Amino acid sequence: MILITEKQYKEILDHSKQAAPNEACGLLGGIIENDIKYVKKVYLLKNTDNSPEHFSMDPREQFASVKDMRNNGWEMLGNFHSHPASPSRPSEEDKRLAFDPGASYFIISLQDTENIVLKSFNINKNEVSEEKLIIEGE
């Protein structure tokens, strides 16, 4: 299970909308207590691919984010990216590039602007399971 705040959800949503029609991306830093992941900070990163179908995180921003996490005593809990025109589920490329089976992979779908969908997944090789995501304040 992973918990984020409404404010963090809004940060992800706003970043994703601003990047559209390209994919947006970022990292999730926080803590794990009693098998529950608590997101302490959302790191909004640049998609250097500038593509609506895939993303690459800016390496300098990625490094700075990890450094900030370490300075705060946090772990990297996972990452997020948007699907501007497809559902909130991992693509074949998402599955192929998911190297950490313990990470949370957030995917926010902007396909239906009246019904934005944010889901979290655990990906282990080609096995995908949806992770319970709680937005505090909902």
Which pLDDT tens digit goes with each residue over 28-74? Answer: 999 999 999 999 999 999 999 999 999 999 999 999 999 999 999 99
- The mean pLDDT of 75-102, rounded to a whole number, is 95
d(CA 39, CA 103): 12
**Would you say residue 138 has pLDDT above 70?**
no
Strand partners, 86: none
* Full domain range(s) for residue 75: 2-136
Mean of pLDDT over the chain:
96
Domain holding 116: CATH number?
3.40.140.10
The pTM score is: 0.95
pLDDT in tens, 93-123: 999 999 899 999 999 999 998 999 999 999 9
pLDDT at 135 (0 to 100): 97
Q: How many domains does the chain have?
A: 1
Q: Is the preceding omega at residue 84 within 30 degrees of 0, hence cis?
A: no
pLDDT at 112 (0 to 100): 95
